[in-house]
Each structure stands twice: as structure tokens, then as C-alpha cells.
A and B are shown apart, each in its own frame.
Chain A
Amino acid sequence: MIMNGRKITVGGGERRLSGGAEKSELFILREWQLMLCLYLFKCTESDIISTVEFNSTGELLATGDKGGRVVVFQREQESKNQPHRRGEYNVYSTFQSHEPEFDYLKNKTVKLWKISERDKRPEGYNLKDEDGRIRDPATITSLRVPVLRPMDLMVEATPRRVFSNAHTYHINSISVNSDYETFMSTDDLRINLWNLEITNRSFNIVDIKPANMEELTEVITAAEFHPHQCNTFVYSSSKGSIRLCDMRASALCDNHSKFFEEPEDPSNRSFFSEIISSISDVKFSHSGRYLMTRDYLTVKVWDLNMESKPLETYQVHDYLRSKLCSLYENDCIFDKFECVWNGSDSVIMTGSYNNFFRMFDRNTKRDVTLEASRENSKPRAILKPRKVCVGGKRRKDEISVDSLDFSKKILHTAWHPYENIIAVAATNNLYIFQDKCRAG
């Protein structure tokens, strides 16, 4: 999902637009406070949130669910009358983008929606009355000019573009270019480049499908344009590698400019080595100097100038390493976690199980585990850091690995482009937290 002003591109995956920067020190010590929680009382598979995204200014926040429904939140303007409600997010618009049943098998369509507001309507037509019925011209004795009168705000979403029939496999990500003229859509084996104005034609820029499908050894898992260089993009693979490509080099970018891969540690080899090294998300930093990748157990930060190994590696939930067999049996090992940067690229955040999500401060190397759950969240409640007990004596507030609820997973999160406001999707519930210090 991409938000660009009041345009939303909906297809699959989640991509960030670049925003401003903010200094944050001792970030991990800040306290996070619940701003909003959108609960759904029913939870069918259609209600599971599949993507969360802020727009480039942070004024709008959009979520999409597996049923194809999009909900957009808007931030209230600060009001002198109600200073304590400064900057709350409220539901702004909701619309159905994709049909869950019919489009499920053909999840290969990208739609561009425009959201518009209408708060005035014309009155005083000559040829029709207020109900819209046509008037008999013989009854018209005078003419008037229609005027616009205020009305209750109506927010409409209209599909402006439908980009379809270019993908054989499921689309796993879309990314709008920094030129705002093109975007790319990615499936397991191909990446296509589109012009936002042209819906019936796309260019294939990456194709890793082998001539003989029996020789297939890896698929594309995510792709993103560079935040500033419109000719540069990266894509990640199921083998744990990232390729950086320059579209100026050739029309078909099968040959990469850079290849990022960390050699496997042979002492860590297990039945599931290939699965846990598959990259589930890749994100450029706002600065464009770094890359972040998420695999099953870690988050890694790469310097674009160093291909041989990551700059930093953070353990998200290493206590799961001894549970990989069970996680394979119940399919949890295939969960695709996303990761996000904060506005200043100093903190990274990603989700885990039991409705936990983790933040890592790159400067201080400190980290924190927080929980997004209904039981622990009253309005304005402060989140308490959580800890998982990995063996030995369990302290009072700790939770043991065997008590973790693996059905409660946080796959999608979003960070405001320059403020400390985060959105966390926990299955069918959306939580928005803000930094208490900022809120005053």
C-alpha cells in the first residue's frame, strides 16, 4: 500500500515514503502511550490486517485487510479548545478495494484510488429539482445560478487506475518511485515497472524464472525503490541475498550492480537453515545509505557500500531457534515479518509473537520489547516493557517461551515519517501509540 498525498496505491506489501528527520536520544527509554485502538469484534480471515502505512506527511494512516477493505485514518488538527486531544487519529474513509473471494486466486491486480472530500454541494439547478427529477421546461419562469452550499463532509474513494494482467504469481510487494511517475510490482519470479498513468502496459525489469522450472532454487520475496535515486532499486530473495540494480545499465536488470549476502555459519546449520534465512522484508533507510532486511530470527542493517556482510545484526527472538521443528509443523516458520525505520534512521522496529514487537536503538544498542494487547491497553495507558524468559528461573513479570501465543503475531507495523507515533497491526486490531513525552 502506498500513500501519496491523497492517493493510495493498493496491491500488496507495504512500502514507506521518505519523510523528514528528527533527533532522538536515549530513545529506548521513552514511554509509549496508546492513542487509538481499533478493535474488531469478529475475527474471520477477511478481517486480518495485511498492511499499514503512513502517508508522506504522517497526516494520514491507512490499513488494509485480507478482505480487500481499506480504512484511512486522519489526524485531527490541533485545537485550542481541546488541547488534550491534540493530534488524535480518527477514521476518515473506508472503502472496498479488492473483492476477497473473486480476487483471491488472481491476486495480481494493483489499483490506484483517489480519496476526495466533498463538503459542498450545488443547489438551485434550473432543469431539475432538488430531488433530481427533471422539471418540465414549460414550468420554468426564471433562471438562477446554482450556488454551492455547505454540507456534511463526505469522503469518497474512487478507483482511478487498475493495473492488471501482468503477473502470473501472487504479488508480494509494490513500491512507488521517488519520481512519482512510476512504480514497480513484484511477484515470486518477476518485477514489472509501470507508469502511473498507463494501465495496459508494463515493462518487465527482472525475471528469474528458469527455462526449466525444475531448476528453480530461489524466488523474489520483496523489492523497493531507492528513496532518492529513481534509477535504483533492490530486491531480496528466499536464499537470503539482496541484489541492487540500476535501471540505467540495461532494460532487463537480471545482472545486479551489487550483491549482498552473508555467508552461512556452518556450525548453525539445521534442517531449517534455508527457511530461516529467507528474507521477508527489505527497506531502505530514509537517508538511502542503508538497507534493512528481516529474516525469521533477525533484523540486519546493511551498508550499501559493503556487500560481504551486514553492518549490524539484531536478534529478534533467538529463543525460537530451539523450537524450529514445532514452528515448522504449525507453519509459523513461514510467517513474513516486516520491519520499519523511524524518521531519523536511528531506531528500527519489527514484530514478533504473542503480540510482542521489538525496537532496537542503533546508537545505544539497547532494545525493548513491548506488547500490543487489549488486556494491557487502556486509553492513555503506558506500555510496560516485556521480557521473555529463556531458561532458568522465571522472574515475576517474565513470560516463558512455552507460554507464548504463536497465533498472535505482529507482522505489520508503521512509523510516522518524523514523529514518534507508531501503528501496530495485531491480527485484526490496530493500535496507534505515541511517545508520551511528545504528547506532554
Chain B
Amino acid sequence: MINTMECAVDAQSLISISLRKIHNSRTQRGGIKLHKNLLVSYVLRNARQVYMNEKYAEIYRMQQYEEVMTVCNEIQELNPLDLVEDCEEQTADCCGSANESASLCGALLPVSHQAPSVQHLQPSSACSVPLALQSEEVCKAPEPSFYRSCCAEAYPVSNCDFSPVNSMHCNKTTVLDLDTHVVTTVENGYLHQDCCASLQQCCQGAQSPAKKRKLDFGYYVSEIEEVPDFTPCKRAKFEDSSYASTEPLDTSNISNLISIFGSGFSGLVSRQADLEQALNGQFCSKQALASLGAWTRAIVAF
């Protein structure tokens, strides 16, 4: 078990730092340093293990929470008017702008319970406090602070930004399922779903980060299956979220990680000519995508 207490940065930041080191090494003078890149890949693997464990723990908690919420919603069907009033109060407190906040919040409620005022979508909205939170309070469900108001940065930008500094201010991971067009955000370890339309706008508006996302995605999708402490119910939940299963791999073997970079890692030791091609991130990301096969594609971004 990796002891993370002594580390000043979290696993997610370490992952982005490590990927950046590997990417930079391709353009560094003196050629690829095999030894250094090998050591960086070990840090990457360790950080991934910790991150995945934390993420699955949160998803499991959220899953339990959702089950409770479903029960609460059924109870609330009896008093729809009370629900709308509470929503407007709470969202005003949260973000100071009922319209702005309600757009994303609306996505979380079952459709039948959404008030007309919350239909308008605001892609630039930063607040994603869900209306479900209000129901939760009415239900007196456990952990009312489970969902927090998000960071002040504009929603698309924060997810597209790769610098570790930003990722430390706003620890968000966004998952877009290209098949169902459902966007899921893991923020500070907490999972909630955002509206799909806003993310589509985000993707259109930011092309180069999207390329980077492919790189990260290839990395993440392959590793999903490796977490050894995955309980059967968690696995079922995640397969619903459209991660296809792959053959089981030894977590201590970094070969799977390297295969994500495809010939990108072999390219680390190849001749100069190949390095030129590898220098643009496209090469690596194409390889990562090419190795996916029949997997359902999901994009994970920092």
C-alpha cells in the first residue's frame, strides 16, 4: 500500500507531471533517456493505483448515495411545489445567480421533476451544485455536504487546462462517453453528472486540449481493469459507465502502461528519424487510440 501522507501533491498532479516529463523527454537534447523514462513510468503507475483506488472508493460511496437518493425522490413526489422553492433558495445561496446555476443543476434531477426555469443551458456556468442536494436535505440523507459548489473557473476551461497548478486548484476529471453523450465529472473525488451539451461546446472550442485528452484517455481506459481491490458490484457499475473489459493484467507489470504509448515507448529507444515523428503528440495519441480495439471510447481529461 503506497503511503501518500508524506507527499505534498496528490496522485492526479503526479500523473500530469509525469506525463509531461515523458512528453518533454522526446524533445530534449541528447536523445531519449531510457533509464529516466522508466523511473517516471513507475511513478505514473503508483500514482494511477492510488488515484484509481480513491476514485473507486468515491464512486462506490456515490453509488450508495444514489440509491438513497432514489428512495428520497420517490418520497418527494408527494410534494413537488416544496421542492422547487427549496431549489431556488439553495442555488441562489450557492452561486448568486439562479439562472446560471440552475442550468447544470437541472441535469441531475429526474426529468419529470425539473422546473421550467431550469431548462436553459449555460455552458459557461461554473456552478454545478445539484438540485439533488436540496432533495437530499429534505430527505435528511446522510452527508449533506457530499456535493460541494465547484470552483470559480469557467467550466470548460478548467477541464481543458493541463498545467498542474490549475489541476491543483480545481481537481476535476471529466469523462465523456461518446456513445451515450453523457458527461461525468469527478471533482475533488466526488462524482456527478453534468449536462452533455455544455461539454460538446467545450470540445469544439478547444482543439489542442482534446488531443491531450486522447493521450490521457488511452492511459486511463487500459488501466481501469487492473485495480486489484475492485469488488464485483463496483465492476458492474463501471461497465455500465461504458468501460469495456480487457484481459486481466499484472499490476506490477508496467508493460500494459507502456503499451498505451504503443510504439511511443518503443519509440523512446528508436532511431532519430522516428523521434521526429513522435515529437508531435499526435503520434502517441494515435497509437494509444489504435490499440483500443473494440473498447467503447471515453475521454478522460484533467
**Cβ contacts under 8 Å, B254 to chain A:** 217
**Cβ contacts under 8 Å, A170 to chain B:** 30-31, 33
Q: Which of B3, B9, B35 contacts A221 (CB 8 A)?
A: B35
Q: List 15 A-B contacts (CB under 8 A).
A: A104-B29, A105-B272, A107-B30, A212-B255, A218-B38, A268-B3, A269-B2, A269-B3, A270-B46, A271-B14, A271-B43, A271-B50, A274-B43, A328-B17, A329-B9
Interface presence of B294 (CB below 8 A): no
Please report whether the interface of chain B is mostly helix, strand, loop or mixed according to DSSP: helix
**Cβ contacts under 8 Å, A221 to chain B:** 35
Q: Which of A168, A274, A326 contacts B42 (CB 8 A)?
A: A274
B250-264 with Cβ < 8 A to chain A: 253-255, 258-259
Q: Smallest Cβ distance from A296 to chain B, in angstroms?
A: 10
When the two chains form their complex, are residues A188 and B17 in contact, meaning their CB atoms are under 8 A apart? no
**Cβ contacts under 8 Å, A219 to chain B:** 34-35, 38
Q: Which of B7, B21, B30, B35 contacts A270 (CB 8 A)?
A: B7
Interface presence of B1 (CB below 8 A): yes
B232-260: contact bitstring with A at CB < 8 Å (1 yes, 0 no)? 00000000000000000000011100110
**Cβ contacts under 8 Å, B272 to chain A:** 105
Q: Which of A105, A188, A273 contacts B30 (CB 8 A)?
A: A105
When the two chains form their complex, are residues B43 and A215 in contact, meaning their CB atoms are under 8 A apart? no
**Cβ contacts under 8 Å, B1 to chain A:** 266, 269
Interface residues of A, Cβ cutoff 8 Å to B = 104-105, 107, 168-170, 188-189, 212-219, 221, 238, 266-275, 278, 321-322, 324-326, 328-329, 331, 334
Q: Smallest Cβ distance from B265 to chain A, in angstroms?
A: 6
When the two chains form their complex, are residues B4 and A271 in contact, meaning their CB atoms are under 8 A apart? yes
User: With A and B bound together, what is the CA distance between A218 and B37 in angstroms?
Assistant: 11
When the two chains form their complex, are residues B266 and A272 in contact, meaning their CB atoms are under 8 A apart? no
Interface presence of B36 (CB below 8 A): yes
Nearest A-chain residue to B270, judged by Cβ: A213
When the two chains form their complex, are residues B269 and A169 in contact, meaning their CB atoms are under 8 A apart? yes
When the two chains form their complex, are residues A324 and B7 in contact, meaning their CB atoms are under 8 A apart? yes
Q: Which of A213, A270, A274, A321 contacts B269 (CB 8 A)?
A: A213
When the two chains form their complex, are residues B36 and A214 in contact, meaning their CB atoms are under 8 A apart? no
Given A213-B266, A325-B9, A278:B3 Cβ within 8 A: no
When the two chains form their complex, are residues A270 and B42 in contact, meaning their CB atoms are under 8 A apart? no
Q: Smallest Cβ distance from B17 to chain A, in angstroms?
A: 6
When the two chains form their complex, are residues A274 and B255 in contact, meaning their CB atoms are under 8 A apart? no
Given A213-B269, A214-B266, A216-B258, A271:B36 Cβ within 8 A: no
Given A214-B255, A238-B35, A326-B8, A275:B43 Cβ within 8 A: yes
Nearest B-chain residue to A266, judged by Cβ: B1
User: With A and B bound together, what is the CA distance between A324 and B269 in angstroms?
Assistant: 27
Nearest B-chain residue to A212, judged by Cβ: B255
Q: Smallest Cβ distance from B114 to chain A, in angstroms?
A: 44
Q: Smallest Cβ distance from A312 to chain B, in angstroms?
A: 26
**Cβ contacts under 8 Å, A274 to chain B:** 39, 42-43, 46
Interface presence of B6 (CB below 8 A): yes
Given A213-B269, A271-B46, A325:B39 Cβ within 8 A: no
**Cβ contacts under 8 Å, A331 to chain B:** 21
